Structure 1
Amino acid sequence: MAGRTISIVYDCLFPLTKGGGERQYDAFARDLVRRGEDVEYLTAHQWDGETPDAAYRVEAVTGPLRLYDDGGVRRASAAFRFSVGVFRALRRRRRRVGAVIVSGLPVLNVFAARLSLAGTQTPLIVDYLEVWGRSRWTEYAGRVMGTVAWLLQRLAIAVTPIATCHSQLSAEHLRDEGFRGTLLVSPGLIDGTGETEPPSPAACPPFVLYVGRHIADKRVDALPAAVATARAHVPDLELVILGQGATTEQIRSEVARVEGGAWTRMPGFVDQEELTDLMATAACLANPSRREGYGLVVVEAAAHGTPVVLVTDEGNAATELVDDRVNGYVAASASPDDLAAAIVACVRDGDRLRDSTYQWYQDALQTRTIARTMDAIVEALDERTAPTPPNEGHLP
């Protein structure tokens, strides 16, 4: 028998899009279903034909949206349209939904959920993938729009009853931005439902792998020069860059500038089988991003015994997942020399580092999982869920 109905709200749906947020919320939904809950996933329309099959119900609350502009910045108009759809959808089911988990990105989702549930006792959890200060917002969206976004974020945080986040960095930012409600800091976001095998040796010749979107904050354009510098110590080193985005042409220009065409591949998006093979055989996975709310790619690489190279930055929570010489290295900056030194260290550490990376993942499977995170979320929901009066049925 299904339990209470829990709505999960996010404007992207895995696997139609493959970012960290949608993978996380897909894992949340599947875990809740395994616990006997009735889960509905409210999102934007992203598919052709019939609604995609999933372990949970999927409902589009808006038509198709172009979420990002040409520079990789989220479009305010798309965020507004989605929030209106969320408000209408939750308003219709306000008396029958048992709980709502809504992404705090974009921030208008929070206001839509709060307004739609006003006057009910329905528990609301806001999941904050990232939390930015004013300077970061203005850098991202410009002085005027960035300031408006920051103020809206502060207001959303102020009206959030229960917040979840997935790093100590985000927890600190929430408190700095005025959060005073119940804060759940998750132990991790490892799915842990699939079986893993001991690591394979790195491919020969060795290659550095990047997986993700091509946007300015990811600093993918730093990799060609870094690998060119590393090749002074590892002459046969290659570079494989997956994905596409606003900075793809800039990355190609960097490849050309360092004369890296012979040792760089940029195949765009690949199927899951090829992605798995590349992840398992890379000498290291390099992600020079300046900001990450968690860093799911770190644990995905570690599941194959593949170490990672990250860059220290005040907005990069993924570095919390890396222990130097255990499952990778954190470079001091995105400069060619600093990145190259970390990459060369991964290559030279070879099987020793791959074995310790895999062991790090096995240890993390006991403590840093989605299941552990959902334990705390479900407990918080149980504490705040009021019994449904017997005369209240489903609304049309």
Structure 2
Amino acid sequence: MDTYGTPSRHVLFLNWRDTLNPEGGGSEVYIERIAAELVTAGHQVTLFCAAHRNAGRSTVTDSGVRVLRRGSRMTVYLRAALICLAGRFGFGPLSRRGLGRPDLIVDVCNGVPFFAPLYAGRPVIALVHHVHREQWPVVFGPWLARIGWWIESRLAVRLYRRCRYVTVSEASRAELATLGVDAERIDVVPNGTPPVTGPALPRTLHPSLLVLGRLVPHKRVEIALRTVAELADELPELELVVAGQGWWEEPLRELAGTLGITDRVRFAGFVTEEEKHALLCSSWLALTPSLKEGWGLTIVEAAARSTPTLAFRYAGGVAEAMVDTETGVLVDDEQEFTTVVRDLLADDVRRKDMGEAALAHAARFTWAATGARFAQLVARATARTG
């Protein structure tokens, strides 16, 4: 039995990455924190994802989540199907590790789903952080973008028509509903706020900005770079730190050179939790210029250090990760983005008030509450198979 008095279950998460993957991001943090909370509640949890150079084929996290890594970014979907089919007949890596057939599969749909209803033979929950309508043409060429969007908006909606959905914000819930997913089948389970990993640290003496996240085109770090270039003459000591890694780093470095701000921008690469904590504490403002986010984990991470964030109003769940004009500011276009950065850097009182409000707002979201909510969904979804 779990801590809520319901039978313990084996939950299998299918996700293309884990947090140790060089391209892992906030969505992977969400999956692994949910998985850890389910283990705490008494469930067995396995995460299946693509293999990569940073970890072995099979590991167990400190929280007790077993991670199986097979295949590449593209073949991980086929490998997941083969492993699940093997498990149904009592062989394969799940059976060899004494895990047995899962009671529930959580199919994490990052644009492309794992198509689990076709082979699972068990209840399936579709977990969608956000709809990728805008990202497809940014990341891929026109033909691949059309195919990807057709899979996400048409094929997947039909394939998962008998499944429950989980998403992280009301904004994503509304978008899924516009694609034809019945609103009553969608549960919203928001992110928790990651724990603060160190003592409070002072702000930099000079104006400082931070962009934290994967370096990929749809994160639009270019907007932050152009903002620094526009404010460079007014604020000769202004600095931007870009913390994170990704395949888009070189074009961003080239743009910084073209804009003449190489000496104003520090590309920090991958940062440890301690380094991230120091950057979030010391920066005057955090910037989230992303085109779309399901929630905006970095926004509440910054808020937990009393650092307000700027983001775009149309970028999905970011409007729920903050309270506009109170814990940060939502803007409508790039010109307004630059204007608000200028205004907030010049207004110490307003910036401090926003930071204090952000700290209180972030405290509302806990992983324990998020995990408890997800555990209820596990119990409901597996009641029949029990």
Tell me if TM exceeds 0.5. Answer: yes
Q: Which residue of 1 aligns with 2:291?
A: 290
Q: Deviations over 1:107-156 (max 9, x none)?
A: 241x1x112223xxx331111022134x7635543333222222222221
Cα distance, 1:293 vs structure 2: 1.6
Measured in 1, the distance between the counterparts of 2:21 and 2:147 equals 31
Q: Which residue of 2 aligns with 1:45?
A: 51
Alignment of 1:269-280 (within 5 A): 269-280=270-281
Partner of 1:8, secondary structure, is strand
8 Å Cα contact 2:197-2:274 kept in structure 1: no
8 Å Cα contact 1:105-1:128 kept in structure 2: yes
Measured in 2, the distance between the counterparts of 1:183 and 1:249 equals 39
Q: Which residue of 2 aligns with 1:173?
A: 175
Measured in 2, the distance between the counterparts of 1:282 and 1:139 equals 29
Measured in 1, the distance between the counterparts of 2:274 and 2:195 equals 18
Q: AA paired with 2:20?
A: P
Distance 1:177 1:140, change over 3 A: farther
Q: AA paired with 1:178?
A: G
Distance 1:360 1:195, change over 3 A: same
8 Å Cα contact 1:165-1:185 kept in structure 2: yes
Quick one: which of 345, 348, 357 aligns to 1:347? 345
Measured in 2, the distance between the counterparts of 1:178 and 1:140 equals 25
Distance 1:129 1:49, change over 3 A: closer
Taking every aligned residue pair, what percent have the same amino acid on both sides? 24
Alignment of 1:34-183 (within 5 A): 34-46=40-52, 47-49=54-56, 51-54=58-61, 55-60=63-68, 62-63=70-71, 65=72, 67=73, 78=74, 81-94=75-88, 96-109=101-114, 111=115, 113-118=116-121, 122-133=122-133, 137-138=136-137, 140-153=139-152, 154-160=154-160, 161-180=163-182, 182-183=185-186
Cα distance, 1:62 vs structure 2: 1.8
Gaps of 5+ in 2: 3-7, 89-99
Q: AA paired with 2:272?
A: D
Q: Does 1:15 align with 2:44?
A: no
Measured in 2, the distance between the counterparts of 1:388 and 1:374 equals 21
State the TM-score, normalized to the length of structure 2.
0.84
Cα distance, 1:355 vs structure 2: 4.7
Q: Does 1:266 align with 2:267?
A: yes
Cα distance, 1:49 vs structure 2: 4.8
Measured in 2, the distance between the counterparts of 1:97 and 1:273 equals 36
Alignment of 1:370-389 (within 5 A): 370-386=367-383
Alignment of 1:220-369 (within 5 A): 220-313=221-314, 315-335=315-335, 338-350=336-348, 352-366=350-364, 368-369=365-366
Partner of 1:22, secondary structure, is helix
Q: Deviations over 1:52-100 (max 9, x none)?
A: 440234343523x2x3xxxxxxxxxx1xx11111112222334732212
Q: Which residue of 2 aligns with 1:75?
A: none
Distance 1:28 1:256, change over 3 A: same
Measured in 1, the distance between the counterparts of 2:263 and 2:385 equals 65
Q: Does 1:184 align with 2:191?
A: no
Distance 1:57 1:192, change over 3 A: closer
Cα distance, 1:31 vs structure 2: 0.8
Q: CA RMSD in A?
A: 2.6
State the TM-score, normalized to the length of structure 1.
0.82
Q: AA paired with 2:10?
A: T
Distance 1:61 1:106, change over 3 A: farther
Distance 1:132 1:361, change over 3 A: same
Q: AA paired with 1:184?
A: D
8 Å Cα contact 1:330-1:342 kept in structure 2: no
Q: AA paired with 2:212?
A: V
Measured in 2, the distance between the counterparts of 1:137 and 1:339 equals 24
Aligned residue pair count: 363
Measured in 1, the distance between the counterparts of 2:349 and 2:102 equals 51
Cα distance, 1:48 vs structure 2: 4.6
Q: AA paired with 1:157?
A: V
Cα distance, 1:232 vs structure 2: 4.5
Cα distance, 1:250 vs structure 2: 2.7
Measured in 1, the distance between the counterparts of 2:316 and 2:64 equals 32
